[in-house]
Structure formats: C-alpha cells, structure tokens
Amino acid sequence: VTILLSDAGFHIQKISYRNVLAALAIALSKFRRSPGSNLTPVPRWLNRLLYFQSIVEWASISAGFTIPVGSSVIAVSKSSADE
C-alpha cells in the first residue's frame, strides 16, 4: 500500500490496519474449505465482541498507535502536488 500510494504521488501521513480479529478469522478459514457461501449470521456475543474491538481499534488509531496487522488498511495521505 505504501508503494502504491507513493508511486501515485501521495505523501503518507499515517498508515495502519484494522479488523485484527477478522484477519485472524480469515486466515483460519483458509484452512477450512466448505462448499457454498461463507456468509452466515454470527452469534450475538461475537457480534458484540467485534463491535467492541472496532471501538478499541479506532480509539487506538486516533491516539496515534499503529496496528501492524488486520484485514483492512487505513491510510491518510496528501497529494505531493499540494505541498
């Protein structure tokens, strides 16, 4: 992502990942192949856990921390033309 943004003429101000638990679930699901859709409702307790994790991640990123792994990347960048 860093290379793509730099090559496109952007100066990266902040880059981090999100959805750590989702990344773990995705990685584990690669070992368990099942036919059909993998889109199924999750239990209420898991939904609440993921919601809480999301709040903690946003607060951490807002406080200046960088999350090194996750299923989504967030980048704040500025066009080099603006400098």
Burial 13-35 (b: 16+ CB within 10 A, else e): eeebbbbbeebeeeeeeeeeeee
pTM of the model: 0.65
pLDDT number for residue 56: 92
Give me the numbers of helices (H) and strands (E) for the chain, helices first please. Answer: 3, 2
Distance CA 17, CA 1 (A): 11
Q: pLDDT for 8-64, tens place per residue?
A: 999 999 899 888 888 877 777 777 666 666 677 878 998 898 899 899 999 998 898
The answer to whether 1 touches 75, Cβ cutoff 8 Å, is yes
Q: pLDDT for 48-75, tens place per residue?
A: 988 998 999 999 988 988 888 888 898 9
Please state, rounded to an integer, the average pLDDT across all residues of the chain: 84
